[in-house]
Structure 1
Amino acid sequence: MSSPTDAAPNATSSSAVIATPSPVTMAIALALLLATQVLATDVYLPALPMLARDLSAAMPAAQATMSAFVLTFGLAQLLWGPVADRFGRRPVLCAGVALFALASLGAALASDVSAVIGWRAVQGIGVAASVVCARAMLRDVFEPQRGAHVMSHALGGLGLIAVAAPVAGGAIAAVAGWRSTMALLAGLGAGLLAFVVWIVPETARTRNPQATQLRALLGQLRRTMAHPAFRAWTALVCASYGGLMVFLTGSSFLLIEQLGLSMWECGLAVGSNSLVYVAGTFACRRLLARYGLVGTVQRGAMFSAAAGVVLAWAATQPTTSVWAVVLPQWIFALGHSVHQACGQAGAVGPFPRAAGVASALAGFLLALTATAVTLWLGVALSANRPQIYFATLATMAGLTALIAWTLVRRHGAQPT
């Protein structure tokens, strides 16, 4: 049954042709659309130290190329979500993917780090459209538990892309420099735009003419934030993704600058995390069939907690190693794969007629968390103390487990 928090009193039926894609088609579309966020970070992640040297940028400025992307990615979702509820998913997808491709080309041609930061901010705006619409499409077509199952398939495919992205990025950067990673993103963006135009159907069955009006938007945002299930699932996703961002933004400097790995080897280390993540999505689907959304998350949190314990131990050691970086991250990735599939489906579940706004608000809060993490690491890692990296990641892992065992246990199964 729909919750009153999903009220959209002036929603109208769509005059466009609405398709109901199969679960396989949806999983492929979701994987490719969500992949824009992964590609925008993971492809050029191994080249980040090279970018800093080539442009004579200090570490905080180099990290700002990540935080600028994440910040606009979060803010723009608050724009794209209501627009997608008003006009449908396909127009927003086409605009966002085109913007991503153009911004990637601009970053490849940038002459200084300030220009890279600016183009990365534009990239974030484009990627926000893809991710908001992907999550909203999931709710357009499926109920929450079925949606989590389809999302786990999509995240499995996304994980395979994430395995290849840093490896390819490191190899390309080693041969042709960091600019080549941005050129690659521009080409991939153009290909994705063609996929959206020719393959991805419109899934929004209603339009809300008031979705972009300020009063109606603020009212829907307030109702969404007031829903206990939304708060619980969104807090879980934010904490878990915050932990992933610690790894993504801090590991390359730790592995390359302090432990002496090449960009290629760093790409393999980052890619191995994604491979474990894929394995976690298989486990997630089996757990969902047996325990449901909330029960699956309770079990996934055991991996989050175990990773937190190992990371807390690593933070107390005077020296570190590649295994100290990679092994606890593998454990964390197993839990993360569960929390992302269940959390993203659970957050939009109560809002079948306002999925765009719910997806946008969840994405904004997630990006706000990630921005805070990257800004903190940009300053903290300047001191060349790897213990700060381990302590930050341990904190996020422990917080993830705590949220799963308290807020999600209490509110995650509320009727939608």
Structure 2
Amino acid sequence: MSIPQERHLVTAIPGPKSQELLARKQAAVPTGIGTTLPVFVTRAGGGVVEDADGNRLIDFGSGIAVTNVGNAAPRVVERVQKQVAEFTHTCFMVTPYESYVEVCEKLNELTPGDHDKRTFLVNSGAEAVENAVKVARHATGRQAVVVFDHGYHGRTLLTMTLTAKNMPYKQGFGPFAPEVYRVPLAYAYRWNGDNAAEEAFAQAVDMIEKQIGAQNVAAVVIEPIAGEGGFIEPAKGFLPKVAEYCRANGIVFVADEVQTGFARTGDLFACEDEGVVPDIICTAKGIAGGLPLAAVTGRAELMDKVHAGGLGGTYGGNPLACEAALGVLETIEQDDLVGKARRIGEIMLPRLKALQERFPVIGDVRGRGAMIAIELVEPGTKNPNPAAVAEVVKRCHAEGLLVLTAGTYGNVLRFLPPLVMPEHLLEEGLSILEKAFS
């Protein structure tokens, strides 16, 4: 890699050049576009981002699970450079090109299930989820959509409605889309008792039957691991129960794998952990190494019901992004990034659980593969402790470790290191985190 794989601080974080650029950002960009850490990046790769002041920081964020293969993966760079010299756009709906078809073929092959599938490409995770709902409504002739507490699905009108958390995603942006209903998620850490899967599922079904009627539900949309909600892995058994209920009632089961997909959890897709096969799967983020691309992959009999022209978009499946996606899939397979994600989990989870034993502010440690989180609480309780999260984040950033937050209550630290991060950087980042708690 061209960028040294080591943490290196030459100024305070953020440094003077980043602060100057931040002032320009504040004068040119709306305040609604927030910034987690205002260091302005000049290059990045492996497990490191370098800023305008020459500081190199350890990256535990991956652009929110986008750069799973790194920020400048060689196979991605090579393919994109070759494509940009040939053509940058034609619009697939006007004059198509092979790379779009090849991406769709690979997703049809790699996503869970051996049934006949179809895939189409769009620009973002929110657009993928919205199109999945469109397909489900058209195919079933029904309107209602069921989603889950703590879920996040995007910032468009419909996906904002599907999202559970009000602030900052929904506050002041209503009225919202109709025919969206929310039911409980089996959030094991916060569920009273040991039967979270059974009890949450029973409550969800009761609400559907009483408030909507299963015969009116077009789709159930769920993240196999709730991302923005706090990396909540539903209690074991919950996802299979929901999927079976959908099959029994003619409801389209939609898995939102925007954040969990492409080897992030130690499987290529998070649904595979419990053998769940969705009717439609939505992917984005890690699909193209940082270029804007997303996909909707579903059962052929559902996807093909939509009339010609009913799906699409000007930039969907841009040729540069398609080549990037092919480079990502090559990298995941040839460099065994599924195995590397599992190795990251094997390193992180024991160290985080050891921290939990030392610091009662850590209420829960959870996650799979390279999608790990810790939930901070007031010691001796399960009361959320967002102030502690803010303090830990501040200390980590000052020491050159980029970390992200999450959670319905703003009390979760989430860790999404690039799957190509060298282990010495991973260990050093965990030591910085330990120092922050100390």
TM-score of the aligned structures, taking structure 2 as reference length: 0.25
Higher strand share: 2
Instruction: Select the structure of larger CA radius of gyration.
Output: 2
Higher helix share: 1
